[in-house]
A and B are shown apart, each in its own frame.
Chain A
Amino acid sequence: DAGVIQSPRHEVTEMGQEVTLRCKPISGHDYLFWYRQTMMRGLELLIYFNNNVPIDDSGMPEDRFSAKMPNASFSTLKIQPSEPRDSAVYFCASSLARVRNQPQHFGDGTRLSIL
């Protein structure tokens, strides 16, 4: 089975530009999570969805960040305008709630560099 697919794998852009990260969860999974990973703070949850509905976005650092899940097989995380401190690796993960304590399965991330 295909795992969680993220694109692009790497993104380098200049400060002020809009950045869009994409995620395709595992087919049939009903939870989707967006994380950010840095050396200083580790892996932090930004937002998560259940059945395409945002449940908790309290981890989103600022209004510059937004996330959508228009259907069960696609989600985006957008940063507008981007700033150098947004540089990090962004991960998407999905899981299946019907199975007790089903683990989250992660994509390979998008390494974002804001110059």
Chain B
Amino acid sequence: EDQVTQSPEALRLQEGESSSLNCSYTVSGLRGLFWYRQDPGKGPEFLFTLYSAGEEKEKERLKATLTKKESFLHITAPKPEDSATYLCAVQPKGYSTLTFGKGTMLLVSP
């Protein structure tokens, strides 16, 4: 059974204080690992897809990396508008579905 575990459950940062969110996964063959951002009262918004170990993707202050067992979402010099819940999901090979982790709730204080 595919499993995704995200840590920490919640993270509070000061503006400008860089940190990383972790996504550990077990899957029988990885087709893709997805990162989403979810704001309160909204649906998840797509950020990145990573396909193979060693791959990295960047968007503004966010950088996602992938190994064979986990993915990290690095947040550099965060701003209050980066506050959201960040969700990680895996898609197994041969499947169209995603298995999501429970997310990390990030709060960035000014």
Contact = CB atoms under 8 A, between A and B. Distances in A.
Nearest to B101: A42
B110 interface: no
Interface string B66-110: 000000000000000000000100010000111111110000000
B87 to A, nearest CB: 7
Interface stretch (A11-19, A68-76, A78-86, A104-112): A104-112
A101 B87 contact: no
Interface of B: 31-32, 34, 36, 41-46, 49, 51, 87, 91, 96-103
Scoring A42, A56, A95 by chain B CB atoms within 10 A of each residue's CB, the highest score goes to A42
Contacts, number: 45
A103 B43 contact: no
Nearest to A91: B43
A45 B102 contact: no
Nearest to B50: A101
B97 A45 contact: yes
B31 A101 contact: yes
B87 A43 contact: yes
B97 A50 contact: no
